[in-house]
């Protein structure tokens, strides 16, 4: 089952949504499990609406999508819902997009530590290693997906997708992409 983790703004996993097929979803949120025949309400109203399609090509290009697949969009966009204090994180393996959000992690100015396209490595401690700096931005729930625990650095690598001088309305200042084998 393909899963997307439901995270809170304290970087804690509070549940998940699993997709069994295109029309069946299982949601576990705060210990309550439910089966739905449509996308769960917590995940709705995030994907661009048809009226916003003039910008759709830019969205597809930014998220490296061939077509607008709602599930893949949520995995990569992190689907921030500030009204519910939640965001979404794809479950490894695969490409994991981690948002850098002012107030969620401890850092006010990421530009001191990294630039766009900088390579990053995930350390066994769960910290991100970039340009001789160790940053604590990776949600702890991802640590259980680290397979090789014999070295200081894992085989999980990635890069800085984007980084802004000022945060967006939702607080995002950048994104890190990690490849979990």
> DSSP class of residue 114?
-
The pLDDT tens digits for 83-112 are 778 999 999 999 999 999 877 777 777 888
Residue with tokens 């661009």, as numbered in its chain: 48
Element (H, E) at 136: none
Pairing of strands 86-90, 153-163: unpaired
The pLDDT tens digits for 31-42 are 999 999 998 999
Task: Give the whole-angstrom CA distance, residue 80 versus residue 87.
Answer: 4
Task: Give the whole-angstrom CA distance, residue 165 versus residue 122.
Answer: 24
pLDDT score of 173 more than 70: yes
Q: Which residue has the higher pLDDT, 65 or 26?
A: 26
Structure tokens at 138: 């990776």
Residue with tokens 């001789």, as numbered in its chain: 132
Q: What is the DSSP annotation of 38-107?
A: S--GGG-S-SPPGGGGGGHHHHHHHTT-SS--HHHHHHHHTT-BTTTTEEEEEPSSEEEEEEEEBTTBS-
Give the whole-number percent of the chain exceeding pLDDT 90.
54
Closest CA to 145 of 89, 71, 105: 89
Q: Does residue 63 contact residue 74 with C-beta atoms inside 8 Å?
A: no
Give the whole-number percent of the chain exceeding pLDDT 70.
95
Q: Does residue 86 contact residue 8 with C-beta atoms inside 8 Å?
A: yes
pLDDT score of 56 more than 90: no
């Amino acid at each position: 089952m393909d899963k997307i983790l439901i995270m809170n703004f304290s970087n804690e996993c509070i549940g998940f949504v699993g997709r069994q097929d295109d029309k069946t979803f299982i949601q576990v949120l705060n210990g309550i499990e439910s089966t739905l025949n449509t996308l769960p309400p917590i995940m709705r109203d995030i994907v661009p609406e048809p009226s916003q399609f003039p910008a759709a090509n830019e969205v597809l290009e930014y998220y490296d999508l061939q077509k607008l697949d709602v599930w893949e969009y949520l995995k990569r966009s992190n689907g921030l819902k500030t009204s519910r204090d939640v965001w979404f994180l794809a479950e490894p393996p695969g490409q994991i997009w981690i948002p850098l959000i002012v107030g969620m992690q401890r850092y006010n100015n990421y530009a001191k530590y990294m630039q766009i396209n900088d390579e990053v490595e995930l350390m066994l401690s769960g910290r991100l290693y970039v340009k001789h700096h160790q940053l604590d931005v990776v949600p702890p729930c991802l640590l259980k997906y680290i397979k090789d625990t014999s070295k200081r650095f894992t085989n999980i690598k990635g890069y800085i997708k984007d980084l802004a001088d000022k945060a967006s309305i939702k607080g995002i200042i950048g994104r890190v992409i990690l490849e979990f084998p």
